[in-house]
Amino acid sequence: MSAFFLEAGFLGVALFGRDKVGPVLHFMATLMVAVGTFASAFWIISVNAWMQTPTGHGINEAGQFVPLDWWAVIFNPSFLHRFAHMVLAAYLTTALVVGAVGARHLLRDRANPAARRMFAMAMGMLAVTAPIQIFAGDSLGINTLAHQPAKIAAMEGHYVSYPQGHAPLILFGLPDSEAATVRYTVEVPDLSSLILTHDLTSPLTGLDAFPRDHWPNVPIVFWAFRVMVGLGFAMLGLAVWAGVLRLRGRLYDAPWLLRAAMAMGPSGFVAVLTGWIVAEVGRQPWTVYGLLSTAQSVSPVAAPAVATSLMVFIAVYAVIFGAGMTYLLRLMDRSPEVGIAMAELGPMRAAGVTPAAGLHNKFFAGE
Ligand code: HEM
């Protein structure tokens, strides 16, 4: 509740309060939004991580899960890995959006100082977070191997076990669960064993070790995983490219880099969505891994009622999302090239308008 109110309250100040509060308070409001979302992410990921790797609970006579050790419930075995991976994913997504907006305005005017700062900061953030994210993703994968081996087998496309190790890394292919094989594979020998077990000969479990009705949908998990990881490496590539050009003093004068940064603008959202598809489709057929199946957790509500509430959700979200997106896209399209000339400050003060408010008014007047 506290996290939600921090977020929601200060988001209003951050978005609409610039002419009502001073620049310091406005900056504080943006920090509070960041703290609020971080705290929200903590609890949301903790709950989801418990469903993936449940610990610290008991089951009462009514068959309900009850917490026995809160610490073990909250800090369950996959929580810290997932929390780090998700928060980094959010920071990366933000950097990519800010970078794309900066790039768009630089393509119009290379000298725009605000766009230059936006682009430089975004590429710097990308250079720090992209490599850490790949490292965090790798350690999350090792954690998943320990706790959800069927999910990892689906991600890797391993229908068969490798008792002697030497499992290949399948880069691409078409998983066929009927025939329990991946067709037309492009693979690197031994690399999956090296990544997951850090040696060549440790045994690696495949889907053949699990009953078929405990398999997730392999093609979806397999492909969603490749999209996420592929985008992660593309983000790293963009960061390295920008870093090299920055060292050569050409960060703002490389149209192809700017175009690539614009094209990569939505990629963080795509990586986040495919990441969640891996996590959630990969968890099937379980709601709480190994304990409560999805079929068991279906609530006894008639299908028409579920369909109606789903339609209402879709309609409400379409309106809210549509309005939010329109507002954000309009903001992004405005040139950040707004400043106040010293000569304008005196008359503004005399009229009782703060510099921040004046800036805001000019911004929205499109000057
Ligand atoms: C490039 C290397 C990457 C690797 C090796 C990697 C690995 C993983 C693994 C193993 C999972 C967990 C599956 C599970 O056990 O449930 C996962 C989930 C996820 N990934 Fe990635 N990932 C990478 C890049 C990215 C990027 C670039 C983003 C987003 C910007 C991202 C966002 C997510 C999200 C949102 C989830 C679901 C969160 C969760 O499971 O708690 N990943 N990733």
Average pLDDT, the chain: 92
Checking if the pLDDT of 366 tops 60, the result is no
Q: Which of 42, 46, 228 to probe ligand 1 with, by most ligand atoms within 8 A of CB? A: 228
Pocket lined around ligand 1, Cβ cut-off 6 Å: 45, 52, 82, 85-86, 89, 92-93, 133-134, 137-138, 140-141, 144, 148, 151, 228-229, 231-233, 235, 268, 271-272, 275-276, 278-279, 282
Tokens 């100040």 locate to 13
Q: pTM of the prediction?
A: 0.88
Predicted confidence at residue 19, as pLDDT, reads 77
Q: Tell me the pLDDT tens digit for each residue of 186-238.
A: 999 999 999 999 889 999 999 999 999 999 999 999 999 999 999 999 999 99
Q: What is the pLDDT of residue 367?
A: 44
3-state secondary structure of 62: coil
Q: At residue 198, what is the residue type?
A: H
| Position 343 confidence tier, pLDDT thresholds 50, 70, 90 | low
pLDDT at 340 over 60: no
Quick one: 178 exposed, middle or buried, by C-beta within 10 A (0-12, 13-18, 19+)? exposed
Closest among 95, 206, 106 to 150, alpha carbons compared: 206
List, for residues 18-76, the tens digit of each pLDDT value. Answer: 778 888 898 999 999 999 999 999 999 999 999 999 999 999 999 899 999 999 999 99
Element (H, E) at 239: helix 218-247
The proportion of the chain whose per-residue pLDDT surpasses 70, expressed as a percent, equals 93
Distance 40 CA to ligand 1 centre (A): 19
pLDDT tens-digit readout, 88-120: 999 999 999 999 999 999 999 898 888 999 999
pLDDT per position as a tens digit, 135-194: 999 999 999 999 999 999 999 999 999 999 899 999 999 999 999 999 999 999 999 999
Residue 344 has pLDDT above 70, yes or no: no
Q: What is the CA angle 230-141-181, rounded to 5?
A: 70
Sign of CA dihedral 301, 302, 304, 305: negative
